Each structure stands twice: as structure tokens, then as C-alpha cells.
Structure 1
Amino acid sequence: MSDYEKLGAFYLGKAVDGGTAAVTDELLLYDSADLTTHAVIIGMTGSGKTGLGLGLIEEAAMDGIPVLAVDPKGDLANLLLTFPDLAPADFRPWVDESEATRGGITPDELAAQKAAMWQKGLADWGQSGERIRTLKEKVDFAVYTPGSSAGRPISVLKGFDAPPPEIMDDADALRERIGGTVSGLLGLLGIDADPLRSREHVLLSTLLSHAWGEGRTMDMAGMIAGIQTPPFTQIGVMGVDAFYPPKDRFDLAMSLNNLLASPGFAVWTQGEPLDVGRFLFTPEGKPRVSIMNIAHLNDSERMFFVSMLLNAVLGWMRTQSGTSSLRALLYMDEIAGFFPPNGNPPSKPPMLTLLKQARAFGLGVTLATQNPVDLDYKGLSNTGTWMIGRLQTDNDKARVLEALQGASAGQEAMSKAELDKLLSGLGKRVFLMHNVHDARPTLFTTRWTMSYLAGPITGSQIRKLAQGKVDGGQLMVDGKTAPPPSTINLQPSTAAKPLLPPGVTEVYIPTTETGVTYHPHLLAVANVRYSNLKARVDVSGTLPLALEAGDGPIAVNWADAAELPVNPATLEKSANDGASFAEVPAPLLDAKNYPKWSKEAAKYVAASKPLTLWQDPSSGVMSSPGESEGDFRARASHAGREARDAAVQKLRAKYASKVATLQTRLERAQMKVGQQQAQAQQAQLQTAMNVGVGVLGALFGGGRRTTALRSGVSGVGRSMREGQDVQAAQAEWAQVSQQMQDLQNQVQAEVDALSGISGGELERVEIRAKAADVSILLIALAWLPFVSENGALRAAWAGAEG
């Protein structure tokens, strides 16, 4: 393992000597847990801010931590330009051909130069193509483009879903969610609305509150209808018409309707839902780096999307358990305008809440900007890490100095003059890091990024990157991937519904679409109880199974059935107007078959439909009933990281006293050298410090910088040779140095053991239901709605996507 591949450590670069500005050999390793207190990166154009941000995200990915990154300029999509083979052909599509022209070379030659440059740059920093390959294996990368189909589109305006119970039960959180949603929507209409004074804001907020209070999603059409005819008669103590006259409400409804009818609106309703959990993890539970590219949007569209996204992050955060380990990273580049010191744009309240509360849930927030004046420093009072690069003006420097002075409580004092000198001498890619978890600020230079920095990625380039990256081909029901109920054939259909004989129960799967064709299926709704004392499981639930019946003697084979994720309580008794119907196979028209099929369904469920759980053998964590494998993998991964971080802290505490004891012995041995050898004494003091840091470096402790133990040990010999008559001291130094080496070996062995705390293969646990614990609540002919598209059928029941 490389020196920088420490547990929970982010390899950001190397320390810089503040006096000489020389790069040292000391690695700058940043504790991932420190990021739960958030971070801010400040630096002018050309300071290396983008490289530092990408390096930070790369390190999070290497540690299996998912990242949600907002990208207003298009720089962060460079994270997808990772080439393990470092071949010129990989770089060729991404080089700037105008740069080749200016240099008098061909684009192929420029690509070869870039490949060689990246290979050398990585090697100089102890990295290689293999580390890039590991990065690509550990996480999934995706580029989303709200309001555009260049990357993965996001369905933001299809509907405003009711928040989870954690928010509905918290009055303050619900008020923030409603206020942020309405402010963003009105901003999209060009209305700068005060939440307390604006009639538009109050009316829309009341409509959302009313719908969400009933557990309903409010779509745009419903909102327009609600504006014209509100489902309540009063707002506060005033009548609706007195508070907001119908004529004025009609104007607001027309504005929303014009937005709905605009040519560019459709793309805002297409794509993946605004689901933060899905942005952070794939359906299989693999960590994901999701880049929200908003470079193509205008200012009002950016503000709308960012405010909606931040509110969604708040909602997701409140569904998570508390933790002291880093669970996920929210990174926002070019924060200008979204978190200003003055004013209160829709994006600011949720960001303030995140900075105040996200730490408790393990969500780290990192903000980056070119200009210090873009930031609300009072809002950043909860930010634990500042990384400051070259600044553009003296005013910028003065603003940062003021903020750093206020953020230095509890740290070893550094005068304003010292900070001023350091900030004034910063070179390219050199940053001053102020971390409240460290004793003093640290000067460092950033490492070479694994991602190729091609500059801002354009829409056409994003299309190229997105090819083959979109989850597709699978039916989505209620936001979860599910197989279709069976292979549907394009059977002849008729406008008239087939007549059914007495005794045959029929139900309809609800749909909101028009022009559907209903296809007949056999539906069995089983009530099942799964009980297992060892697994501590005792749950009951319904299991709807649907399949197509054939015309042969064996018309029904329950092994061909698929789970139909539709709430049985929502089944309807009649069809939609204007629907057509497929032919019904003869066996489904015989009422005598249904009791037999009901018994067969019960036997099948007991024998072949166990409750599947997963267990992480390394941590012992087991999934909950109803939790998907992907969701559990994400939870188990974090549980392993929590166990690892706790074990590292325990080792730090265990060995800190031993290191302190050995260092005390070193100092005593040094005192024997004599007062007359002050120069030698000073060298030995530094050596003692280096040895201690080297030991704790394996644990990633202290000031986050590591120096190899061998450097300290070799320094012992050099410093001892400078003394006179130090035979006894040398002997003691040698003895203590060996003890230090033995301690280092012991520490490293225990650290290596911690690497296996999590990340193993999951064990599948199946709990079968007893026959007596299975009953069939409903056996019926079910009409499933489908729509024909391009010669294939798409499921059209409520909540389905495909």
C-alpha cells in the first residue's frame, strides 16, 4: 500500500516550507471525518482551485464516499476523463485542437504530449494508471443536466412530491421545504417574492401545504387548477377572494400555464426523479459521484434548480441516522450568488440549515469560490476547514484575514502579520489550510489529479460522456426497478370490454394516462407472515402476483408470475374512458378455475417466495425487511466505515501514551549530552518529534502530515555524531529507537487488520413463510393498462416509468 493510502485519509498534496516556499516530502493527508465540519475553498482563476476540488472529490471516491457535486461552469465533468492506460488515443477526443494549431503540431501529437505529461505528473506524486483504475472500479460517475437532454435529464417539474414523514412531522423543516420550493418556482417565473408579504408566495405555499397534508403530490396542472379554484375558502382569517381576487389569481395561473406550454418546458418533466439517494448510490448500492451540470441554464433556472436540489438534500439528510463518520459529500463549485452575504435568495436558507445541521448526519459540505465577497461569512461560522489559494485583490485578502482571525479560536495563535505574509506569498497550486482540528494552519501544494483537466466540458461533450451511462431498459415502479409482470404480447384489441361470466372478480390497475389498452392478467394478492427468531424478524405484508394465462391445459404456472408493486387498496372497479381491451384467454373466463388457482398460489408463495435479507459478515449488520439490496449495501458500507473510524480512534488513544513515554525517554537521553552542545540538542529535539509523528502517521493522527520513521531514526545518528562524549546517550538512543521501530511495526499490523472491517461479499439470508402463514386475500382477473410505443408496450399504471 502506498504511503498515502491510509484509512480515512484524503491525499491532497505535500506540505510546503513557509520560510523557503520549498515543497517538502511530508504528505498532506486530510482526515475524512474532519470534512463533516464542512470546508470552503477560495482562490482566484489560475490558483489551482479546480484541481484541489477535483482532487478532494477523487479522494472521497477512493474511500467509497458518494459525492453530489453542483457544477455551474462545467469544470467538474472532467472527473469522467480518467484513463487508466494513459494512452494518447484516450486523450485525443478531449484535447483542444486550437492549442495544437497554436503550437504548430497535429492534434495527435498534442494528445501524445498530454498523455506523457499526465503519466509523468502522476508518477511524480507516487500515482499511476492502476490508481485511476481503482478509482473507476470503486464508484460510478454520472453527469446530470437539468433542463437539457445532453446528459441525464432530471424530472424537476413533473410534480412536487410530498416530503417524507421526517419532514412532515417537523414544522420548521416543512416550512423550509415549502418556502424553498415556492421561492424557486416563482423565481423561475421572474417573480422575486417575499415569503411573508407576497400574495403569490402565500397562496402557492398554502396549496402545497394542503396537498402534502393529505399525502398528495402536487403537479403543475393541479397547481394551476388550485390557483383558479383553491380547495380552501380562507387564507389566515381572510376569505380567499378577498386576499387574492380571482382576476389576479387568473394572471398567476396564466403565467404558470405559459411556462407549462413553453417549448423548453418538457425536458424539465423528463428523466430521473429528484431523488438524492439515487444520486448518491446506484440501484446496486455502489457509491456514485453525481455531477449536476447547470452551465447551460440562465440565472433564474439555476437558482430554481439549486434551491430544489438543496431542499431535496435536506429531506434526504433527515431520513438518515446520526453518525460521526463522513457519509456523503455535497460539493458546490462557484458558489457566487447562491450564498451571498446580503439578501436571501431561495438557495440560501437550505444551505444555512445544511451548514448548521448536516454534521450530525455525516454529510460534509464543501463550497468553492473565486471571490471572498461572494460568501456569507456569518453563515460559514460552522465551517471547520478553509483552504485558501492566491487572491486577486488586497480587499479579498483583508476579508479572508478577518474571517481566519475569527475562526482561529482554540488553535495555536498565529498573528495577523504571519497570516498576511503567508497569503501574500502563495504560488500556483499552493494553499493555506486552516483546520480547526489541527494545532496550526498548514501550507501545502496540491497533488496531480487523476482526472485529465480538459477545461469546461460542453454540452456536446457531455452527450459523448453520457453514452452508455444511463440506466435503461428496466421498468420503474414507484421509483424502484422491477421486472414487468410478464412478457406482454401485442394481442388483438377492441374498444369494447369483453363480457365476463358471473363469479369472475375483475379489478383495474389505476392509471392516469389516456388511450391505454387493458391486458388481462391473473392476479393473486397474498397476505404473508415471515417469522424467524434467530434473524429477529417477524413481519407481515401483502404480496401481489400477476401473470398472463395461456390457452392450454396448464394455463397458469405461478413460477412465471412477477411481483406487481401496486398497493391492493388502490385497485379500481372500472376502466378509464376511451380505453381498449385485449382478448381474454378462455381459462380466465371459467369461474371454477379461480379457487384452484388460489390454493396453488398459496402453496407457491410458501415454497418459492421467501423473504430475502442480506447480511454483511464483516460488521454483522443485516438488512431490514423491504430494504433493497442496493440500499443495504450503501448502509452496510457506511456501517463498516463507522466501525473503521471508531477503531482508528481507539488505536490513536491506545498508542498516544506509549509514544509520549518514548519521546520523554528520548528527551532525557538527550539531556545527558550536556548544555554545551546546544546545536546538537536542537537537532535531536527535531528528530524526536519526527519519530513520534512517523509512528502516529500509520494511524493518521496528529497534524495530518506524515514523515517516514526511517527519517527520524537516521536523524538520530546524525545528531549524535555532532555531540562529544555521548557513548551512554547513544546507547540509550539506539535502544529507544529500536523500541520505536517495534512500535511502528505493531501499529502497522493493527492498521492493516482494520482494512478488512468492511467491503466483503454480502451473505444472502432467506426466510420462508410457513404454509399456515400464507393466505390469499384476492384472486381476480386484473386489467393492466399499457401504451403501445414503437411496436412495444409500456406499462402505464400509476407510478410506473419505463
Structure 2
Amino acid sequence: MNKQEAFFNHITEGNTNKGEYITLGSAMLDGKTIKNAFVNVPLKTMNRHGLIAGATGTGKTKTLQVLAENLSEKGVPVILMDIKGDLSGLAQPSPGHAKIDERHEAIGLPFEPKAFPVEILTLSAQNGVRLRATISEFGPVLISRILDVTETQAGIISVIFKYCDDNKLPLLDLKDFKKILQYATDEGKKEFEEAYGRISTASTGAILRKIVELEQQGGDLFFGEKSFDPQDLLRVDENGRGYINIIRLTDIQDKPKLFSTFMLSLLAEIYSTFPEQGDTGRPELIMFIDEAHLIFNEASKALLNQIESIVKLIRSKGVGLYFVTQNPTDVPEAVLSQLGLKVQHALRAFTAKDRKAIKLTAQNYPDTEYYDTASVLTSLGTGEALVSALNEKGRPTPLAATMMRAPMSRMDILTDTELENLLNNSKLVKKYNEEVDRESAYEMLNEKIEQAEAEELKEKARKEKEALEKAKSKSTSSRKSTRMNPIVKVLTSATFIRSVFGILTKVMKK
């Protein structure tokens, strides 16, 4: 048996007809593609999370597209974070190309252009299904971690939520949250102190500044109603294919606070609402997070801890998370250690730091007698990658340099007309794009303040009226008592005066 035959057997040894697989491509040896040496990923282990990494232009986005297409065909819904805005083409079939045919001939797979069921979602004012959540749904702990507040400030936020619960004040958007914070240290200060203790004005001021920072990054568009139901991410079409939910994020690349807020809220909502599933043979939902460094680079330590906890726990809900980034070091080690599938495209070694990073990356892959992993990492071409997955028993599959298959859908964006037609036919656009601004804490507190001010003015007017009537009554009483005094009456009577004058006259005559 020669080296190529031994390698073929090594790669295909775990490939069986049991269970469902996604074929990523065919293995390569010494720079050449070995036809039919298929590199398969069991559907059963795709909830064990994964990583797609590589330098710019090496094919990460196309790998993401291939995975999304094949998951959809297997009936598994997908969420894609479209940072660069180049994934909407999944809704249209590939026009084909001679190079695609050549690639698939080398792999040993037929190429069939296909379109897939796609839903376009958005966090901002862009066209698409609006994604929103209420402040109440976040809860005090999550809000505190997102705002990165101190322990004391987190305690105040908990008190604010408790007050709103006790007084049935819905906290829906950021204006509600700001209003209740202002109320706690102004008009409602006495009420809060009596029920919950003193609240520091300095602390509420610091929290308000954090809210304004989030608001400036677009948080005012995200927080509110109608809240998005995560169950709507699990839809399949009439052919049993899972919907590919593309979240357009092209306009929030410079707003990492909003991005990480949304990601954490979505993961938390999925974890709290999805039932425990365990290993059922297929995932419930797969989420691809493109430009993953946007989450981790700007996240506080508390937020990172929350993300790491969710990554560890959410797979039991049948949900797989796949991080797409340029370098594996962009992802924290605590998260990296949880990843089952790793698709590593080429890395570039321009500096000593780059070479050191490549050596560290190579150590994350299983040992193999067929490759010098560190060397292969820098010599892979576009559309080629090192792949390491987990088999059905949860063990790492043989490391394979892989010629990746091409996407079946268009490797370009939709035209404006195509996008408009897609949105016009969307059931979710009709469900979520109507803006709702029902009575909540902001309106209710304003009404309460206005009532209190009206009562205060009324009381002040009553007191002023009483004081005026009292003063008038006192003046009238004084005049009356003077008129009724008998001594004064005698002294001022005409008879008395005439008598006194008569006496005085007689005395003067004498």
C-alpha cells in the first residue's frame, strides 16, 4: 500500500453510512486533492460548537456559506451574523463557473446550483425584520453586565427593577429605564427611601451615563416592542429545509457595545426558552458569528464570563455556536476549548509575532504523520483549509488539509429588487415591523408626577385660601370686638363726651 492509499484509508476510516453527515470537501496530500477522500462532519456533533478562522481572502465566508446551505438542506435552521453584507446571495442559486466545475471534479462531488429559504433580519433601521427586546426581558443582572457597572450600581439597578415589579411599571425601552432612574432620586426620592433605602444621586448619574453610551450606539432602536420570539428562528419551509436567518450588521461594525448586547440577549433568551435536548442526533439551531472579535475585544470581564457560561451550557439545548474570525487567538481560551469543529484557512506570517501565533495555532490540532501542521497553515490556497471535527463518538477525526466544496448559492449579494421582493414575501416583516409604544414606565411615571404636582398645587392653593380666610376672619373679629366693648362704647358715647366737656367748662369758668 502506497502513501496515498494509506492516507485515503486514514481519512475515510470513520466515514460510515450511519447517521447524517455534511461533506465539506475532499482531503489533500502534498498539495494535491485526493478524489473521493471526503471530509465529513457528523450532524450529531454539530451542537459542539466550532471555529472558522483564517486570513482575509482565504475563503472563510464561503466555508460559512457551505455549512449554512448543507445544514438548511438537512432541515436545520441557521442564524448568520452578516457583518460584511455579502451573505444575502444565499437566497439565489449560483450562476456556476468553469472553476467551480473544475474544483468539484477534483473533489468527486457533483455541483448543483440551488437557492435556499432566507429571512433578512436587522438591529437597525435597515430593511429587514426588526429585532427588538425589552429592558424587562433582560433583567437586572444582564443589564448590569452589559452596562459594566460597579457592584453598588448593580444593586441600585436591582432595586429599580424591584420597584417596577412591585408597582406594575413595564420597563420596555431605554427612555423607561432613564425615567425611573431620575424619578428614584428626584420626585420619588422619599418613596424609594421609605421602601428600599437611600439611593445615591452619584450612582444613578453614573448608570445614566452608561445608558447614554449604549443609546448612542443604537440601543434605542434595539430596546422596545415588539419583542422578537426566538421560536421564529426555528422555521422550516414547505420542503422541510431550515430557514437561513441572516442578520444584517453592516452598519454596526463601529458599535461593538450594541453588537455584544444583542448577542448576549439572544443567547440568553435561547437558553432560557429552548427545552433540554441532549444528543438527539441533530442540532436544533446553528448560529454563525462572523467577525467574532467584535464581541470579545470590547466585552467587559463580567460580560465575557457570561458569554463563556452560555457557550458551555447552550449545547444541551441543541444549539451550536460557530465563531468566524481571522485568528483563533481572537477567541478566549475558555471558549476555544469548547469547540468541536475547527476549519482553519491559511494564516500569514509577516512578523515574528505572526510566526509565534501560527506555532500556537498548530498545537490546537491533532498530531498527524501526514502533515507539518505549522507549515501547511501558511501554504494553504484560497478555498483550502485544515479541518478537524468530532466523530459520532465525540472523538477528533483525522486532521485533513481539505479542498473545500463551492457554495451552491450565489457568492454575491442580492440586488435591491431581489431584496425588496424577498422582504415583501416575508411573514416575519409583517409580524415585527409595526412599531408599538404602549403605556409603560415612562408614561406612567410622567402621569404620576403630573398628578403629584397637581395635588401639590391644589394643596398649596387650599392652604393659601385658608390662610387668607383666617386673616380676614381675624380682622373682622377685631373690629367687631372693638365695637362691642362696653367700656369703649361708654367712653365714645355722645352723652359721655358732652358730660366731660360740661365739667371742663364749669371748671374753667370758676
TM-score interval, smaller chain: 0.5 to 0.7
**1:85-484 maps to which residues of 2 (within 5 A)?**
86=95, 115-117=96-98, 120=101, 124=105, 126-129=109-112, 132=114, 136=116, 140-156=117-133, 159-162=134-137, 178-184=140-146, 186=147, 193-196=148-151, 199=153, 201-208=154-161, 211=164, 217-220=170-173, 221-230=175-184, 233=192, 239-241=197-199, 244-245=200-201, 249=204, 267-268=221-222, 273-281=227-235, 287-297=242-252, 298-299=254-255, 300-317=257-274, 319-325=275-281, 326-340=283-297, 344=300, 348-393=304-349, 395-396=353-354, 398-405=356-363, 408=366, 413-414=367-368, 418-436=372-390, 437-454=395-412, 462-463=419-420, 465-471=422-428
2:423 and 2:429 in contact (8 A); partners too: no
Aligned to 2:454: none
Q: CA deviation at 1:459?
A: 8.5
Structure 2 CA distance for partners of 1:345 and 1:55, relative to 1, 3 Å: farther
Structure 1 Cα separation of the partners of residues 54 and 120 of structure 2 = 25
Which amino acid counterpart does residue 132 of structure 1 have in structure 2?
K
Structure 2 CA distance for partners of 1:210 and 1:8, relative to 1, 3 Å: farther
Aligned to 1:8: 20
The CA RMSD over aligned residues, in Å, is 4.3
Task: For residues 353-401 of structure 1, give each alpha carbon's deviation from its aligned partner in whole angstroms, at most 9, with x where no partner exists.
Answer: 2321122222111111112332212321111222111002264453354
**Unmatched tracts of structure 1, length 5 or more:** 87-114, 164-176, 187-192, 480-510, 514-802
Structure 2 Cα separation of the partners of residues 195 and 416 of structure 1 = 53
Structure 2 Cα separation of the partners of residues 327 and 151 of structure 1 = 24
Q: CA deviation at 1:122?
A: 8.4
1:324 and 1:360 in contact (8 A); partners too: no
* 206-215 vs 8-17, greater mean Cα deviation: 206-215
Q: CA deviation at 1:219?
A: 1.6
Where 2:251 maps in the other structure, the secondary structure is: coil
TM-score between both structures, scaled by the size of structure 2:
0.67
**1:535-684 maps to which residues of 2 (within 5 A)?**
none
Aligned to 1:756: none
**1:645-724 maps to which residues of 2 (within 5 A)?**
none
Structure 2 Cα separation of the partners of residues 474 and 422 of structure 1 = 49
Where 2:23 maps in the other structure, the secondary structure is: strand
Q: CA deviation at 1:4?
A: 11
Larger strand proportion, structure 1 or 2? 1
**Unmatched tracts of structure 2, length 5 or more:** 1-14, 441-510
User: Is 2:28 the counterpart of 1:75?
Assistant: no
Structure 2 CA distance for partners of 1:419 and 1:281, relative to 1, 3 Å: same
Task: For residues 33-55 of structure 1, give each alpha carbon's deviation from its aligned partner in whole angstroms, at most 9, with x where no partner exists.
Answer: 22222111111112111111111
Structure 2 CA distance for partners of 1:119 and 1:379, relative to 1, 3 Å: closer
Which amino acid counterpart does residue 54 of structure 2 have in structure 1?
G
1:36 and 1:362 in contact (8 A); partners too: yes
Which amino acid counterpart does residue 304 of structure 2 have in structure 1?
K
Q: CA deviation at 1:146?
A: 0.7
1:377 and 1:403 in contact (8 A); partners too: no
Q: CA deviation at 1:120?
A: 3.7
Structure 1 Cα separation of the partners of residues 209 and 334 of structure 2 = 40
Which amino acid counterpart does residue 398 of structure 1 have in structure 2?
K
1:355 and 1:380 in contact (8 A); partners too: no
Structure 1 Cα separation of the partners of residues 100 and 363 of structure 2 = 41
Structure 2 Cα separation of the partners of residues 75 and 6 of structure 1 = 35
Structure 2 Cα separation of the partners of residues 406 and 258 of structure 1 = 38
Structure 2 CA distance for partners of 1:442 and 1:307, relative to 1, 3 Å: same
Which amino acid counterpart does residue 80 of structure 1 have in structure 2?
A
Where 1:391 maps in the other structure, the secondary structure is: coil
1:152 and 1:271 in contact (8 A); partners too: no
Structure 1 Cα separation of the partners of residues 368 and 104 of structure 2 = 35
Which amino acid counterpart does residue 430 of structure 1 have in structure 2?
E
2:279 and 2:318 in contact (8 A); partners too: yes
Task: For residues 483-502 of structure 1, give each alpha carbon's deviation from its aligned partner in whole angstroms, at most 9, with x where no partner exists.
Answer: xxxxxxxxxxxxxxxxxxxx
Aligned to 2:68: 57
| Corresponding residue to 1:38 among 12, 26, 49 | 49
Larger helix proportion, structure 1 or 2? 2
User: Considering only CA atoms, is the larger Rg found in Structure 1 or Structure 2?
Assistant: 2
Structure 1 Cα separation of the partners of residues 329 and 41 of structure 2 = 27
1:328 and 1:363 in contact (8 A); partners too: yes
Q: CA deviation at 1:264?
A: 7.2
1:339 and 1:375 in contact (8 A); partners too: yes
TM-score between both structures, scaled by the size of structure 1:
0.44
Structure 2 CA distance for partners of 1:253 and 1:429, relative to 1, 3 Å: closer
Where 2:293 maps in the other structure, the secondary structure is: coil
Structure 1 Cα separation of the partners of residues 127 and 432 of structure 2 = 22
Structure 2 Cα separation of the partners of residues 229 and 314 of structure 1 = 34
Aligned to 1:557: none
Structure 1 Cα separation of the partners of residues 28 and 149 of structure 2 = 49
Q: CA deviation at 1:462?
A: 4.9
Aligned to 1:748: none
2:88 and 2:412 in contact (8 A); partners too: no
Identity of aligned residues (%): 17
2:346 and 2:377 in contact (8 A); partners too: yes
Q: Which has the higher contact order (CA 8 A, sep 6+)?
A: 2
Structure 2 CA distance for partners of 1:55 and 1:75, relative to 1, 3 Å: same
1:155 and 1:269 in contact (8 A); partners too: yes
Which amino acid counterpart does residue 399 of structure 1 have in structure 2?
A
Where 2:38 maps in the other structure, the secondary structure is: strand
2:19 and 2:44 in contact (8 A); partners too: no
Which amino acid counterpart does residue 325 of structure 2 have in structure 1?
T
Where 1:382 maps in the other structure, the secondary structure is: coil
Where 1:420 maps in the other structure, the secondary structure is: helix
Aligned length: 406
2:73 and 2:242 in contact (8 A); partners too: no
